[in-house]
Structure 1
Amino acid sequence: MTKAKILVVEDEAIVAKDLQYRLIKFGYAVPAIASSGEEAINKAVELSPDIVLMDIKLKGVMDGIEAAQEIYKRLDIPVIYLTAYADENTLERAKITEPFGYLLKPFKEKELQTNIEITLTKHALERELKANKKWLDALLRSISDAVIASDMQELITFMNPVAENLTGWKQEEACGRNSSEIFKIANAETHNAIESPIARVLQDGITVNLPAETILITKDGAEIPIDDSAAPIKDDKDNITGAVLVFRDITERKRAIEAGKKQIEQEQLLVQWEEINQLKNDFLNLVSHELRSPLSNMKLMIQMLQLSPNTEEAQHYLHLMEGECDRELGLINDLLDLQRLESSSYPVITPDALVLQQWIPWIIEPFQIRIQQHQQTLRLNLPSNLPPLLSDGISLERILVELLNNTCKYTPAGGEIILSVRHNSSEAPAKTIITVSNSKEIPVTELPRIFEKFYRLPNADIWNQGGSGLGLPIVEKLVEQLQGNIQVESGNGWTTFTLILTDLYSDPIAKR
């Protein structure tokens, strides 16, 4: 074990030699003796002793207290005063230099040795503590997170450079101020102030996390989104002595999240674009087929007319051509109507007071011949006490015509079609409910697609049931125009479309 080196500062040569002898006897090394303050400083710089035994009254302009202060400041070497003076003024001056001991002459050898050993131990612990503090300070200053520490009164005791940059406060400005003054936080959406987590940590002794969407309001009023946690600082007896707050700027993280959301949105748009592109392809395929077929038929009929001398046969082909023209015109009109409905350019709704007992028989009259030709039956359930319905007659007529046309096409020969109307006044507002049913069941798997554009039931062509697949989408859009609702269900050999309507009024009407 290395001997402790002790520098003796004493202007009385005999006293100095006696002290050196005793120290050597204790097992210490005494490499030099100084008799003045200036010499003591120079020897301390040269030899780096472990302890300085300092007499207060020295020869020259510098006394022992001044010399001790300079040595401790420059070299961090502990000083023990050995003096015959114990007056209050000397003692107060000595206390300012933070000596490790103060022995009054004459003193006992054991007392001197005890003071030296205590000083060596205490100084070693202080050096270790300072080293740990420097290590911790360097660690806290080098980490990427901001760190703020407070005492039990919520007063700031430490801030690392990251915390300084984020808050806008320098450590020397912040220390001693309340944490809520330095660490101002609020909700990002409402801007309502949020209590500093340090207060709760000190009160409850638990680790606290900030709520989501928290912003830090800096010294100059800037807003920074942050994420943080606060925890208590405890001593070796588990007593709370303060709190530490660790937080970070999450601006980049939020940008990354937003970028991720945008990427997802772009991917969704791409999927939608692919769906639209597929819809366009389906549309082109359908239109090319539906438009080409009538044109091809008409061309063939024209050729037949040119070759046929038979007037009756010519009339037959002219009749067929007229039907194909009507079919072509109907498809084009359906496309234009659906386009106007989807682009909100459909004519403004004009409500009429419809007397359904008279109006509905007039609507179904054109279907009677067609129904007889297909050997179908049409049953009408129309109560006599129905109140007038305030609705758009043109739109409602189109809806019923499309529904009846659809049921006529898909109802087998000998099948039945039922149109029923009832009025429900038990709810507010009162509702008029119209159902169109036919004795042909639609597979349950097909029902979700029944109102899709260009969709037709599987095997529709096999059943010799043409069509563009636009009738029911037009119905759905027209029902929306009337602020109503339409549903379809199928089972037990029947398919039923249910139309639910309320009266339209002139002032709050949904206008296109």
Structure 2
Amino acid sequence: MNPIKILVVEDEVIVAQDIAGRLKKLGYAVTATVSSGEEAIQKARENQPDLVLMDIVLKGDMDGVTAAEKIKTNMNVPTVFLTAYADDKTLQRAKLTDPFGYIIKPFQQNDLRVAIEIALHRHEIETKMQEALKAAEAARESLEEKSHRQNHYISMAAHELRNPLNAILISAELLELARTRKSDESQVRTLRLVHSATQKMNQLIDDMLFMGRAESGKLKCNPLPINLVEFCQDLLDQLQLGNEGKHKLTLVPSNVTSAILDQQLLHGILSNLIVNAIKYSPNGGQVTLELEYRQAGEVDKEAIFCLSSECLLTNSPFGNIHAPLLIMRVRDEGIGIPETEVEKIFEIFYRCQNTGKIKGNGLGLTIVKKAVELQGGAIACESKVGVGTTFTVALPYVALSCRIK
């Protein structure tokens, strides 16, 4: 066990040497003996003592009271005052610094030991109390933040669900009118509107449930063998059907056909990225999904940023990865993301300033990020306003270590 370190501040050299000698006999380590307040502050900063023995009356511009106050404020080191005499004003000032003890000169060696041990014990207790208070405050703030998020979820859900609900109600009324008029075409259009509104409601509910499970730590990862080409082509076909041919969706499978991944999480990643690509691209634009297998250590010249300190990728090229990777890229020819906002797009509810009247709730990319991290992967974005955006996702080819972050 390391000895307790004590800084002695005393402007009488003989007295200082005597105190230092007594401290060493008691088993303490003397970091230094200094004679001024300025020196005391400097040595306390350099040596980080456990306690300071400080003479109240010191020669020079700074007395012991001022020096003790600065040491306590800046370094949280307790002070025990040494005093033989002092005027009432100085003593009152000394009390305001909340010292951890006084020793009246001349003193016995045992008095010195008792004063030091009591001061150190009191300081330890106060430090633990302060840490406990900080922890309690942090927990309170965390609970308030979670409560705020939950309220935000509820408010957003109420707002987002109102539009499709209104659409369904209006559609029901139109169907009632169309029933008497026997207009098949009108009924088909109205049914499509109902179907679209219902899909939006279901998607929003799924997104809210996903975020709720992620926030509560209940989101699980279940990796299973999956035929990637079939999975991705089916997803694109479904989205193409809902898109009514306004965009061209293309799959580029490359050298990978299968992997071991969580199918639900993979669906959440790709569907959100592709839907965003469609949403923020002009009609007639092309959206491409590329799949690629990377052997461990293969170098990719694209530098990407990593969203988690524990994820596979760092702020360096893919070449530092020591495991096989599945690389997925979703490219579009859309409005792009402003350079100043790229690092914010994964924040919950964040929407870029150039989205204008394009509807969205700011949850999609947050869901993508969580689904990627849960499988031990990473995601990057490259975008240019007016040209398009590419999202690159890297996942372990065999997702064996799924986890929540």
User: Does the pair score TM above 0.5?
Assistant: yes
- Percent of residue pairs identical: 24
- Cα deviation for residue 411 of structure 1 reads 1.1
Residue 315 of structure 2 corresponds to residue 442 of structure 1: no
CA shift digits 1:207-232 (9 cap, x unpaired): 9946325269xxxxxxxx75699xxx
State whether residues 346 and 369 of structure 2, in contact with CA within 8 Å, keep that contact through their aligned partners in structure 1: yes
For 1:101-140, list aligned pairs within 5 A. none
SS in structure 1 opposite 2:24? helix
Per the alignment, residue 499 of structure 1 pairs with 393
Per the alignment, residue 394 of structure 1 pairs with 264
Distance 1:257 1:491, change over 3 A: farther
Residue 349 of structure 2 corresponds to residue 454 of structure 1: yes
Distance 1:263 1:419, change over 3 A: same
- The residue type equivalent to 2:223 in the other structure is P
State whether residues 349 and 361 of structure 2, in contact with CA within 8 Å, keep that contact through their aligned partners in structure 1: yes
SS in structure 1 opposite 2:347? coil
Per the alignment, residue 432 of structure 1 pairs with 326
- Distance in 2 of aligned mates of 1:148 and 1:250: 24
Q: Mean alpha-carbon deviation: is it higher for 207-216 or for 410-419? A: 207-216
- Cα deviation for residue 157 of structure 1 reads 8.2
Per the alignment, residue 417 of structure 1 pairs with 287
- Distance in 2 of aligned mates of 1:447 and 1:484: 19
Per the alignment, residue 180 of structure 1 pairs with 24
- Distance in 2 of aligned mates of 1:273 and 1:476: 23
Structure 1 residue runs of 5 or longer lacking an equivalent are: 1-144, 164-176, 186-193, 217-224, 230-244
CA shift digits 1:323-378 (9 cap, x unpaired): 3233222211211121112212124x23223343444323322233345621x223
Output the aligned Cα RMSD: 4.5
What is the TM-score normalised by the length of structure 2?
Answer: 0.60
State whether residues 282 and 454 of structure 1, in contact with CA within 8 Å, keep that contact through their aligned partners in structure 2: no
Residue 367 of structure 2 corresponds to residue 474 of structure 1: yes
Distance 1:146 1:367, change over 3 A: closer
Per the alignment, residue 52 of structure 1 pairs with none
CA shift digits 1:55-114 (9 cap, x unpaired): xxxxxxxxxxxxxxxxxxxxxxxxxxxxxxxxxxxxxxxxxxxxxxxxxxxxxxxxxxxx
- The residue type equivalent to 2:379 in the other structure is I
CA shift digits 1:270-296 (9 cap, x unpaired): 877776676556544432321222222
- Distance in 1 of aligned mates of 2:199 and 2:251: 29
Which of the pair has more CA radius of gyration?
A: 1
| The one of 204, 208, 212 aligned to 1:335 | 208
State whether residues 150 and 179 of structure 1, in contact with CA within 8 Å, keep that contact through their aligned partners in structure 2: no
Per the alignment, residue 378 of structure 1 pairs with 249
State whether residues 341 and 352 of structure 2, in contact with CA within 8 Å, keep that contact through their aligned partners in structure 1: yes
Per the alignment, residue 274 of structure 2 pairs with 404
CA shift digits 1:289-320 (9 cap, x unpaired): 21222222222233333444123234543442
Residue 241 of structure 2 corresponds to residue 351 of structure 1: no
What is the TM-score normalised by the length of structure 1?
Answer: 0.49
State whether residues 352 and 391 of structure 1, in contact with CA within 8 Å, keep that contact through their aligned partners in structure 2: yes
- Cα deviation for residue 439 of structure 1 reads 0.9
- Distance in 2 of aligned mates of 1:274 and 1:415: 44
Instruction: Count residues in correspondence.
Output: 306
Structure 2 residue runs of 5 or longer lacking an equivalent are: 1-7, 53-76, 82-111, 298-321
Residue 197 of structure 2 corresponds to residue 324 of structure 1: yes
State whether residues 402 and 471 of structure 1, in contact with CA within 8 Å, keep that contact through their aligned partners in structure 2: yes
Distance 1:365 1:296, change over 3 A: closer
Q: Mean alpha-carbon deviation: is it higher for 295-304 or for 261-270? A: 261-270
State whether residues 287 and 332 of structure 2, in contact with CA within 8 Å, keep that contact through their aligned partners in structure 1: yes
Residue 357 of structure 2 corresponds to residue 486 of structure 1: no
Per the alignment, residue 48 of structure 2 pairs with 212
Distance 1:158 1:394, change over 3 A: closer
- Cα deviation for residue 433 of structure 1 reads 1.2
Higher strand share: 1
- Distance in 2 of aligned mates of 1:315 and 1:380: 31
Q: Which fold has the larger relative contact order, with Cα–Cα distance below 8 Å and residues 6 or more apart in sequence?
A: 2
